[in-house]
């Protein structure tokens, strides 16, 4: 169980994994996530299900190496197994026929966005996808995005590919062109989702965001992932992870995400020392 | 001729100075000599009130008589006829309000130390059995062994799903396995035991004990599947409709933490007791960075609430290095729901009690963390629905406490995940599962429930009692169906 069937490098330090988890694959829906643990001393981390296939009993996960646990996953190969994969967790994204939806993804946020826009297209929405990355090499899953959308705008911060600027700039242009936009779904770093919501609020476009709070169990028993939405406390693992972006307290979310930063840095440094140092922090 | 009654044997403990800085078990257990001496104090009265005080009706005088003769293995077997998890019950049951409270000897002298004796019998048997040793408990137990019905009655060959591997589920599964049924337990976390694993700390209940008790349940032929959330990973009605299972028991507990709903509660440094204890106990954050899960504790910790969970959180905070740990409770000492022994243990270790005190808001340190907590003094008014005098704020008595960590331990409710996903499962107003008879039958035919998911947060032993009764109910029903 939970064997890695395939592993592919999508961009530097970004991995695509196809993992055997038949019970999860059978009931997964767009927006659901899993909690995984790599080994017996590992922590539980949430990863969004980027694709699922009940036939083969597998789920697809996209993992960016940002700390100890994701670096551990980066070291795993096809044939290795996760100790634990629990799911599908969270509420499925509410996906309705609305007309035109714009999917906005930052960085690896495009992976969790994919199953959502696929379903949007399937049920007859016109899908425009905006995918942003720092630079050309970090744009991932381009073909899959093009297949799942009617129109795609790629954006890079440095202008090395597509639109030169942030995803919000590209979205603003669409709005200025007078394109009909009935709904926006934004997935990516907190500040990118916040900026997207600030823009769409001005134009009264309903916007859904997928929040990435710190989680432990992922089943609603601890409240570590609590967020403030419309003035109320919600547990993002069971009430979300998707929420009305215009009601989310993003500053609080960003602050809570940073709570364990010292510990995270320590764990990563120790792991790097053990592996003889990494190449990214050479002095 | 009345015989001489010797003093009750008190369990040796680690000294408060030593234990407040380690996670080893506080109570050290009896040795065989002390155990025999204490067993001999039992007067073997005919009325056996102690047995009536035990929610699972362990035959207490009978097992104690065996212990008095040094027959510890036989004593353990006697207990296990009624209680599958004696090493756990001997440690965490509130004996002072159950078996020991009714002890005949206790009317004139101190009651027999039933809990200590139960614990000794279980520990001795485990340590002196050939296959002893802690094996990691994980997914996919051994294939079902052919269990013979304990009482020789022929039973239908049915498979039963048990949802949740806490004390209720483990007990129900063990009972059903002993009756000869095939039993599969489904657990949402990656480890078994429920609150025994994630809630009660190592220093009160070592996890090797939990492993060994779970291994015992597994040795009866019960299979355990971890990482399975019934309600999301599997659908209960579908499992029954497909005929994979002929009956089910729901023992999913009270795992949804309540918060105070006061300003500042989402600041960094505010934990639910569930999160704090899960990080430390289940994820072993006290061994970070050897284990990957972090936990952060400040120097000045306040725990809100005064149940056993609050005591566990306060004592855990000390062990993680907090200098100053306070319990803040809105009622007085008499109303504290924690076991007296646990309150004493906490105070000996240096936990301070701020009674008749209620938090009003948590104040930021300006950097997203906790800087202080504003509280108000309370006084006791008229009794409320629970019979306890209602705390009323004293106007103008607000004061501020310097704190950097707040742990909220004001109770838990039922997790709604399973009920939300299971059509036809009737709940009461509080979200607990409604049961229709003394066995715990729910509104869905073939589905029973018991433990905290029915009663709200209660004790380990009452959950075990409910698991046991449900097993009886399931057996009667299955035999009536065949």
pLDDT digits (tens, 9 = 90+) for B192-245: 999 999 999 999 999 999 999 899 999 999 999 999 999 999 999 999 999 999
Query: Over the stretch A251-277, which tens digit does the pLDDT of each residue have?
Result: 999 999 999 999 999 999 998 888 775
H-helix or E-strand spanning residue A45? strand A45-48
Distance of alpha carbon A2 from the chain centroid: 21
Of all residues in chain B, the one with the smallest CA distance to A229 is: B266
Q: Is A82 helix (H, G, I), strand (E, B) or coil?
A: coil
- Asked if A6 has any chain B CB less than 8 Å from its own CB, the reply is no
Binary contact (A260, B368; C-beta < 8 A): no
| A179 Cα to chain B: minimum distance (Å) | 39
Binary contact (A217, B283; C-beta < 8 A): no
Q: Are B343 and B312 in contact (CB under 8 A)?
A: no
Work out the average pLDDT over B8-33.
Answer: 94
Per the rule left: phi > 0, alpha: psi between -120 and 50, beta: everything else, B366 is: left
| pLDDT surpasses 90 at B296 | yes
Helices (H), chain A: 22-27, 68-75, 110-122, 142-148, 167-176, 190-202, 236-239, 250-257, 261-274
A256 closest CA partner among A275, A238, A242, A236:
A236
B281: DSSP letter: I
pLDDT at B131: 57
- Asked if A169 has any chain B CB less than 8 Å from its own CB, the reply is no
Q: Are A107 and A131 in contact (CB under 8 A)?
A: no
Of all residues in chain A, the one with the smallest CA distance to B190 is: A84
Work out the average pLDDT over A230-256.
Answer: 96
Contacts of A86 in chain B (CB under 8 A): 188-190, 227-229, 233
Any idea which of A226-235, B165-174, B411-420 has the lowest mean pLDDT? B411-420
Rounded distance between C-alpha atoms, residue B357 and residue B346, angstroms: 18
- Asked if B152 has any chain A CB less than 8 Å from its own CB, the reply is no
Q: Return the structure tokens found at B335.
A: 């109303």
Scanning A72-101 for CB atoms below 8 A from B yields 83-89
pLDDT at B257: 95
pLDDT at B434: 96
Contacts of A252 in chain B (CB under 8 A): 266
CB atoms within 10 A of CB B396: 7
What's the Rg (C-alpha) of chain B? 23
Tokens 């015989």 identify what position? B3
Rounded distance between C-alpha atoms, residue A227 and residue A150, angstroms: 33
Binary contact (B233, A259; C-beta < 8 A): no
Q: Are B461 and B93 in contact (CB under 8 A)?
A: yes
Count of alpha carbons within 13 angstroms of residue B56, beta-carbon side: 32
Burial of A89 (0-12, 13-18, 19+ CB in 10 A): buried
Binary contact (B289, A260; C-beta < 8 A): no
User: Across the strands, what pairs with A3?
Assistant: A81
Interface test with A, best of B190, B199, B409 (most A CBs within 10 A): B190
* Cα separation values, A17 from A30, A73, A210, B21, B388, Å: 17, 9, 21, 42, 56
pLDDT at B146: 31
Q: Return the structure tokens found at B355.
A: 């009674």
Helices (H), B164-225: 167-178, 195-198, 207-219
Work out the average pLDDT over A224-249.
Answer: 96
Work out the average pLDDT over B365-383.
Answer: 94
Q: Is B231 helix (H, G, I), strand (E, B) or coil?
A: coil
Q: Return the structure tokens found at B301.
A: 């910790």
User: Across the strands, what pairs with B159?
Assistant: B182
ipTM rounded to 2 decimals: 0.94
Query: Over the stretch B343-362, which tens digit does the pLDDT of each residue have?
Result: 999 999 999 999 999 999 99
Rounded distance between C-alpha atoms, residue A121 and residue B323, angstroms: 58
Rounded distance between C-alpha atoms, residue B46 and residue B157, angstroms: 40
- Asked if B272 has any chain A CB less than 8 Å from its own CB, the reply is yes
Binary contact (B227, A266; C-beta < 8 A): no
* Cα separation values, B39 from B44, B112, B189, Å: 10, 8, 39
Of all residues in chain B, the one with the smallest CA distance to A72 is: B292
Rounded distance between C-alpha atoms, residue B97 and residue A281, angstroms: 61
pLDDT at A283: 43
Rounded distance between C-alpha atoms, residue B136 and residue B212, angstroms: 9
Please, which pLDDT band fits residue B31 given cuts at 50, 70 and 90? very high
Rounded distance between C-alpha atoms, residue B280 and residue B265, angstroms: 21
Report how many helices (DSSP H) and strands (DSSP E) chain A contains, helices first: 9, 16
Of all residues in chain B, the one with the smallest CA distance to A255 is: B368
B93 closest CA partner among B466, B414, B460:
B460
A157: DSSP letter: T
Work out the average pLDDT over A75-103.
Answer: 96
Please, which pLDDT band fits residue B1 given cuts at 50, 70 and 90? very low
Q: Are A104 and A188 in contact (CB under 8 A)?
A: yes
* Peptide bond between residue B289 and the one before it cis (omega within 30 degrees of 0): yes
A167 closest CA partner among A120, A211, A213, A103:
A103
Any idea which of A156-160, B154-158, B263-267 has the lowest mean pLDDT? B154-158
**How does the average pLDDT of chain B come out, rounded?**
91
- Asked if A25 has any chain B CB less than 8 Å from its own CB, the reply is no
| A199 Cα to chain B: minimum distance (Å) | 26
| pLDDT surpasses 90 at A147 | yes
Query: Over the stretch B139-148, which tens digit does the pLDDT of each residue have?
Result: 333 333 333 3
Rounded distance between C-alpha atoms, residue B186 and residue B164, angstroms: 6
B262 closest CA partner among B376, B96, B114:
B376
Query: Over the stretch B54-102, which tens digit does the pLDDT of each residue have?
Result: 988 999 999 999 999 999 999 999 999 999 889 999 999 999 889 999 9
Please, which pLDDT band fits residue B154 given cuts at 50, 70 and 90? low
pLDDT at B175: 95
CB atoms within 10 A of CB A261: 11
B59: DSSP letter: -
How many A×B Cβ pairs under 8 Å?
118
* Peptide bond between residue B205 and the one before it cis (omega within 30 degrees of 0): no
pLDDT at B140: 38
Residues A24-47 as b or e (16 or more Cβ within 10 Å = b): bbebbbbbbbbbbbbeebbbbbbb
Instruction: Report CA torsion sign: B144, B150, B152, B155.
Output: negative
Angle of helix B460-481 relative to helix B167-178, nearest 10 degrees, comes to 40
Q: Is B341 helix (H, G, I), strand (E, B) or coil?
A: helix
pLDDT at A279: 53
| pLDDT surpasses 80 at B5 | no
Query: Over the stretch A177-236, which tens digit does the pLDDT of each residue have?
Result: 999 999 999 999 999 999 999 999 999 999 999 999 999 999 999 999 999 999 999 999
B26 closest CA partner among B200, B278, B273, B272:
B200
Q: Are A52 and A31 in contact (CB under 8 A)?
A: no
| pLDDT surpasses 80 at B363 | yes
* Peptide bond between residue A241 and the one before it cis (omega within 30 degrees of 0): yes
Rounded distance between C-alpha atoms, residue A22 and residue B150, angstroms: 37
Work out the average pLDDT over B137-156.
Answer: 44
Contacts of B189 in chain A (CB under 8 A): 86, 217, 219
How does strand A207-210 pair with strand A242-244?
Answer: antiparallel
- Asked if A232 has any chain B CB less than 8 Å from its own CB, the reply is no
Binary contact (B284, A216; C-beta < 8 A): no
Binary contact (B288, A238; C-beta < 8 A): no
What's the Rg (C-alpha) of chain A? 18
Of all residues in chain A, the one with the smallest CA distance to B272 is: A222
Query: Over the stretch B39-48, which tens digit does the pLDDT of each residue have?
Result: 999 999 999 9
Work out the average pLDDT over B98-117.
Answer: 94
B145: DSSP letter: P
Rounded distance between C-alpha atoms, residue B470 and residue B305, angstroms: 32
Q: Are A38 and A83 in contact (CB under 8 A)?
A: yes
């Amino acid at each position: 169980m939970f064997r890695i069937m395939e592993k592919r490098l999508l961009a530097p330090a970004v991995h695509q994994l196809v993992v055997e988890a038949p019970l999860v694959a059978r009931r997964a829906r767009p927006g659901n996530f899993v909690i995984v643990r790599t080994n017996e001393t590992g922590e539980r981390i949430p990863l969004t299900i980027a694709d699922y296939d009940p036939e083969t009993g597998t789920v697809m996960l996209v993992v960016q190496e940002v700390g100890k646990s994701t670096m551990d996953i980066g070291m795993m190969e096809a044939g290795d197994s996760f100790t634990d994969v629990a799911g599908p967790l969270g509420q499925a994204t509410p996906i309705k026929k609305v007309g035109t939806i714009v999917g906005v993804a930052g960085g690896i946020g495009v992976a969790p966005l994919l199953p959502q826009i696929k379903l949007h297209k399937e049920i007859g929405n016109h899908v425009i996808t905006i995918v942003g990355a720092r630079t050309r090499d970090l744009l991932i899953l381009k073909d899959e995005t093009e297949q799942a959308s009617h129109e795609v705008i790629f954006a890079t911060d440095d202008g090395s590919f597509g639109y030169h600027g942030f995803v919000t700039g590209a979205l603003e242009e669409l709005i200025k062109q007078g394109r009909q936009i009935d709904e926006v779904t934004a997935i990516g770093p907190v500040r990118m989702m916040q900026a997207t919501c600030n823009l769409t609020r001005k134009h009264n476009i309903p916007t859904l965001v997928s929040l990435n709070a710190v989680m432990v169990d992922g089943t609603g028993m601890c409240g570590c992932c609590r967020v403030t939405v419309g003035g109320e406390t919600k547990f993002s693992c069971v009430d979300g992870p998707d929420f009305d972006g215009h009601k989310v307290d993003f500053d609080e979310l960003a602050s809570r995400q940073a709570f364990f930063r010292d510990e995270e840095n320590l764990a990563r440094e120790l792991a790097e020392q053990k592996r003889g140092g990494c190449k990214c922090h050479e002095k | 001729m009345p015989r001489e009654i010797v003093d009750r044997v008190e369990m040796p403990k680690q000294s408060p100075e030593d234990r407040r800085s380690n996670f080893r078990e506080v109570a050290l257990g009896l040795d065989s000599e002390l155990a025999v001496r204490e067993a001999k104090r039992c007067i073997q009265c005919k009325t056996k009130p102690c047995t009536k005080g035990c929610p699972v009706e362990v035959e207490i005088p009978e097992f104690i008589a065996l212990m008095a003769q040094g027959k510890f293995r036989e004593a353990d077997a006697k207990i296990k006829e009624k209680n599958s998890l004696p090493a756990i019950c001997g440690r965490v049951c509130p004996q002072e309000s159950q078996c020991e409270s009714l002890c005949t000897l206790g009317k004139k002298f101190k009651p027999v130390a039933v809990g200590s004796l139960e614990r000794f019998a279980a520990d001795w048997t485990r340590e002196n059995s050939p296959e002893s040793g802690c094996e990691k408990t994980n997914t996919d137990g051994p294939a079902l062994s052919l269990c013979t019905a304990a009482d020789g009655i022929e039973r239908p060959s049915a498979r039963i799903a048990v949802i949740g591997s806490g004390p209720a589920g483990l007990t129900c599964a063990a009972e059903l396995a002993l009756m000869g049924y095939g039993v599969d337990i489904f657990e949402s976390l990656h480890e078994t035991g429920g609150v025994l694993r994630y809630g009660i700390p190592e220093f009160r209940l070592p996890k090797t004990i939990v492993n060994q008790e779970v291994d015992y349940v597994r040795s009866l032929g019960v299979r355990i599947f971890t990482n399975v959330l019934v309600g999301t990973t599997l659908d209960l009605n579908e499992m029954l409709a497909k005929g994979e299972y002929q009956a089910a028991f729901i023992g999913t507990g009270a795992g949804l933490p309540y918060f105070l709903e006061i300003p500042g509660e989402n600041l960094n440094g505010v934990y639910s007791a569930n999160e704090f204890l899960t990080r430390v106990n289940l994820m072993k954050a006290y061994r970070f960075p050897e284990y990957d899960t972090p936990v952060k504790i400040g120097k000045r910790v306040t725990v809100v609430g005064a149940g056993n969970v609050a005591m566990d959180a306060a004592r855990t905070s000390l062990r993680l290095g907090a200098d100053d740990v306070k319990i803040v409770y809105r009622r007085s000492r008499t109303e504290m729901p924690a076991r007296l022994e646990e309150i004493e243990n906490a105070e000996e270790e240096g936990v301070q009690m701020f009674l008749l005190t209620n938090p009003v808001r948590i104040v930021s340190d300006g950097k997203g963390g906790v800087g202080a907590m504003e509280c108000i003094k309370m006084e006791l008014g008229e009794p409320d629905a629970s019979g306890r005098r209602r705390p009323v704020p004293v106007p103008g008595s607000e004061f501020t406490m310097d704190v950097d960590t707040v742990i909220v331990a004001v109770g838990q409710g039922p997790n709604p995940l399973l009920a939300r996903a299971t059509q036809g499962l009737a709940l009461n107003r509080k979200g607990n599962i409604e049961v229709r008879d003394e066995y715990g039958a729910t509104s869905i035919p073939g589905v029973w429930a018991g433990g905290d998911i029915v009663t709200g947060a209660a004790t380990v032993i009452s959950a075990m009692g409910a698991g046991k009764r449900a097993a009886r109910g399931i057996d009667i029903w299955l035999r009536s169906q065949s």
